[in-house]
Chains A and B, each alone.
Chain A
C-alpha cells in the first residue's frame, strides 16, 4: 500500500516535470534557450497606479501571495467547520497536530512570557510561510507566456523582507512595551565596565539589523536556490537535447523535489522559531 503510493508519487512528479518541460518546449522561439532567471523576474500582470514610491501593480509574486492567503482562509474555514464534527475527522486531527506543533513546538519551546499575546503572529507567520513555500512546489500557469512554472512568493527578497520587518518591528514593540525605558539600556549587560558596555551596545544594535537581514535573506535565498536547482534540472534535459540525459535528470529532480518539500517545511519552522526567539528575547531580557 505504502510502496504503491510512493510509486504513484514518483510517477506524478516525473509526469509533472515532463509537462513543464513540454510546455517550455512548445513555446515558439524559446525551445533551446531556457532562461531560468526569467522565471524569477516580475512583470506586472495588472497595471495599477503607484502611490508615491509604492508601485501597487499586480505581478506574479502578488498573485502567489493572494493564492497563499486564499488557501489559508479556506483551511481556516474548513478547520472551523470540522470542529463541529464529533468524533474528530482525519483532517481535524492533522490540523490539530500542526496547531500543536506551532503552539508547543515553536512558541511553547522558545518563549517564556507573552506566549498568548504573540502566538497568533508567530503561528500565522509559520503557516503563511509554510503555505507559500508549498504552493511554490505546485506548477501554476503564471510563468512567461502563461506557461506552467514553479515560483513562490517567498523566493522574492522583498516579500521575505516585509515578513522579517514584521518580526523586527514586533520584537522592539514587545520589548518596549514590556521593559519600557530599560529596554534599550538592557541591550548591554549592566555588569560590564563602561567602555566595554558601550561597545557591546553598538555591537548589539548592529546585530539587531543583521537579524532582520538574515531572517529575510535566509528564507529568500533558500527558496530561490531550491527553485533554481529544480528549474535547472527540469531545463537541463532541454539544454542537452538527449533522451538519456532527460531520464536521468528527471529521476534526480524527483529527489530534489522531495528535498524541497522538506526545505519548505524547515524554512517555515526556522522563520517562526527565530521570530519567537527574537520576540521572547526582547520580552525576557538579561540584565
Chain B
C-alpha cells in the first residue's frame, strides 16, 4: 500500500495541472469578472444614490436660503411701510395741531380786534351820551367853554382801559 509509485505522481501532476488550468480559465476568471461587475454595479448605484442625496441636500439648503431671504425681505417691507405710516401719522397730527393753533390765534386776533372796535364805539357813544346828559342838566348854568372843559374832565376821569377790561371779562 505504501510502495512507491512515481508514475501515479506524474498522473496526479498532469490531471491537477489540467484541472487548475481549466478552472482558472473557465471558472475563476469569469466569476471574478462577474463579481467585480456586480460590485461595480452596486458601487455605482451607491454613488448615484449618494450624489442624488447630496443634490437633494443642496436644493434643500438653497430653498431654505431663498425662504429666509424672502422672509427677511417681507419683514423689511413691512417695517418700511410701518415707518412710512408712522411718519405720515406724525405729519398729519403735526399739521392738524399747527392748523388748529393758527385758527385759535386768528380767533384770538379777531376777538381782540372786535373788542377794540366795540370799545371805540362805546367810547364815542359814552361821550355823546355824556354830552347830551350834561347839556340837558347844565344848559343854563354853564358856558360853552365850561361845558367843553367839564366834558374833557369827565372823559379823563372815565377809565376807558378799565372799562375795556371789565367789558372783556
Contacts and interface: CB of A to CB of B under 8 A. Distances in A.
B19 interface: yes
B18 interface: yes
A53 B19 contact: no
A55 B5 contact: yes
B19 A73 contact: yes
Interface residues of A, number: 49
Nearest to B13: A162
A137 interface: no
Contact of A120 (B6, B20, B34): B20
Given A54-B10, A158-B4, A72 B31 contact: no
B1 A80 contact: no
A83 B36 CA distance: 13
A158 B8 contact: yes
A99 to B, nearest CB: 5
Given A41-B1, A65-B11, A76 B23 contact: yes
Tell me which of A83, A125, A165 has the highest count of chain B C-beta atoms within 10 A of its own C-beta: A83
A95 B13 CA distance: 25
A69 B18 contact: yes
Given A37-B1, A68-B15, A128-B19, A159 B9 contact: yes
Q: Is the interface of B mostly helix, strand, loop or mixed?
A: helix
Contacts of B35: 96, 99-100
A77 B31 contact: no
A72 B22 contact: yes
B167 interface: no
Contacts of B27: 75-76, 79-80, 95, 99
Contacts of B25: 76
A54 B23 contact: no
B23 A124 contact: yes
A153 interface: yes
Contact of B9 (A40, A72, A99, A158): A158
Contact of B8 (A66, A156, A166): A156
A56 B7 CA distance: 5
B28 interface: yes
A127 B21 CA distance: 12
A126 to B, nearest CB: 10
Interface of B: 1-2, 4-13, 15-16, 18-20, 22-28, 30-32, 34-35
18 contacts: A41-B1, A57-B7, A62-B8, A62-B11, A69-B19, A72-B23, A73-B22, A76-B26, A99-B31, A100-B35, A123-B28, A124-B16, A124-B19, A127-B19, A128-B20, A159-B9, A162-B10, A162-B16
